[in-house]
A = this chain, B = another copy of it.
Amino acid sequence: MTDLDRLFSPKSIALVGASPDPDKLGGIALRNLLGLKGAVYPVNPRYGEIMGLRAYPSASELPEKVDLSVIMRPAAEVPDILAAHRGRARFALIVSAGFAEIGEAGLQQQIVCIAGEAGMRLVGPNCIGIFTPRHRLDTMFVPHARLRRPRRGNLAIVSQSGAVLMSLLDAARIANIGVSKAVNYGNAADLDAPDFFDYLAEDEDTSVVVSYLESVGDGRRFLDAARRLSGRKPLLILKAGKGAGGGAAAFSHTGRLAGNYRVFRSLMDHCGLREVEGFDELLDAAKALSYQRPAPGKRVCIITNGGGAGVLASDECGRQGLDLPGLPDNVRDELRREFPSFYTVANPMDLTGQVMIDDYGVALSAVGDHYDGFLVIALTGVPGVTPGLAGHLVRFHGTVNKPITAYIAQGWVAPRLTRPLEKAGVPVYHSPERAVRGLAALLWKMA
């Protein structure tokens, strides 16, 4: 197994194609690298200095062997550029497009050979590279104004597509999910998803991994690595190119056959791997798994202050294979004594629009021992739902230590409830079904 620490947390980095123009890709990328916890060497024969850093005319002249060299020059130049790296870099990340994805398989094979001879491992070509917030590594040639980066956290993203990686990073930021590492490997001429899986399985900063892929190079190797990783921490796979249309699109995108999806799917099932259906499902599950540890069981209790939202959540539980057993008799009797007669003391438990926040605390305490997971719905249109509700949920979560997610309807109180809840590890969603999907991800096949 290749140790990818120097790739994800390089102590030194070269940027071939660095530009002093902040609007050019080589300038944007350099600016984004300036925060690196390590040395940065711009490579460009036309300048002696770029953005305050000494520039080097060629990789061969770098003052040390760098951990990572990022190459942003036209495809035709890449073979010579790589050859100049002999003894000067451990990893090369080739941003440039124009290889197998447009039919130039020969050129792609050539750069693999040159890199091998020069003792380097490759990421790409045709990729946007790597993002390690902890190490302030950011090889993406996208200004922050165009793509605000998510905060540091425990979610790792392994994406064959650069555009999907960017969309996922953006969506992660909006959903308040922190990221440990992210990589887009493009054509995967050398390093491929299995290499990143093996590395992330050991990575202490990463608790959950999502993988977007269109094609798999060596299927056996992929499944073995995916199985090893998912034995250590949750792995969510989004496989695109499922239908005939999608498969054709995937081929022209990275130059690898998407394969027969049904075969892939049955192998995934056989190996106990977890697939999600689309972008939103991936995000919902990743959020829950980034906030909480999965736990065994599928017995869910729903506590709501709106009957309809509870019914919609019940339906989604049915679709997700979660059970909603009724309340134990003693719990039901206790709560009937405690609550007004018009509350529905059942599962879902409907505390109605008359709810006061303490009622949520009473209900959760009563059911805590009897279920595996909990969904709390708080519609903020009613006067009894105040920011203090967060405290009840957080205390409960701290006590029972079982999966719990929340659907908080948007509105005045919602942000003031959402912030403390998410700070304390309770993920909040914006529809009943999405909150159930988050909970289902935490309870998935752990029984």
Contact B102 A146 (CB under 8 A): no
Q: Please tell me how many copies of the chain the complex holds.
A: 2
Q: Give A249 Cβ to nearest chain B Cβ, in Å.
A: 5
Instruction: Determine whether A356 belongs to the interface, using a CB cutoff of 8 Å to chain B.
Output: no
Given contacts A242-B318, A410-B171, contact A308 B212 (CB under 8 A): yes
Given contacts A163-B353, A170-B411, A324-B245, contact A307 B252 (CB under 8 A): yes
Instruction: Determine whether A365 belongs to the interface, using a CB cutoff of 8 Å to chain B.
Output: no
Given contacts A167-B409, A381-B146, contact A306 B161 (CB under 8 A): yes
Cβ–Cβ < 8 Å partners of A252 in chain B:
307, 344, 346, 350
Cβ–Cβ < 8 Å partners of A238 in chain B:
312
In the assembled complex, the Cα of A412 lies from the Cα of B145 at a distance in Å of 6
Cβ–Cβ < 8 Å partners of A350 in chain B:
249, 252-253
Instruction: Determine whether A418 belongs to the interface, using a CB cutoff of 8 Å to chain B.
Output: no
Instruction: Determine whether A305 belongs to the interface, using a CB cutoff of 8 Å to chain B.
Output: yes
Q: Mark A143-162, 1 if CB is under 8 A from B, else 0.
A: 00111100000000001111
Given contacts A311-B240, A342-B98, contact A433 B280 (CB under 8 A): yes
Cβ–Cβ < 8 Å partners of A318 in chain B:
242-246
Look across to chain B and name the residue whose beta carbon is closest to the beta carbon of A98.
Answer: B342
Contact A308 B163 (CB under 8 A): yes
Contact A346 B248 (CB under 8 A): yes
Contact A409 B170 (CB under 8 A): yes
Instruction: Determine whether A39 belongs to the interface, using a CB cutoff of 8 Å to chain B.
Output: no
Instruction: Determine whether A97 belongs to the interface, using a CB cutoff of 8 Å to chain B.
Output: yes
Contact of A164 among B171, B212, B309 (CB under 8 A): B309
Contact B312 A383 (CB under 8 A): no
Cβ–Cβ < 8 Å partners of A341 in chain B:
102
Contact of A409 among B166, B310, B409 (CB under 8 A): B166
Contact B411 A147 (CB under 8 A): yes
Given contacts A250-B311, A311-B246, A315-B243, contact A278 B163 (CB under 8 A): no
Instruction: Determine whether A317 belongs to the interface, using a CB cutoff of 8 Å to chain B.
Output: yes
Q: Mark A304-347, 1 if CB is under 8 A from B, else 0.
A: 01111111101111110001100000000000000001101011
Look across to chain B and name the residue whose beta carbon is closest to the beta carbon of A306.
Answer: B163
In the assembled complex, the Cα of A145 lies from the Cα of B433 at a distance in Å of 25
Contact of A307 among B245, B249, B306, B346 (CB under 8 A): B249
8 contacts between A and B (CB under 8 A): A147-B411, A160-B308, A240-B315, A244-B318, A250-B307, A250-B311, A252-B344, A280-B431
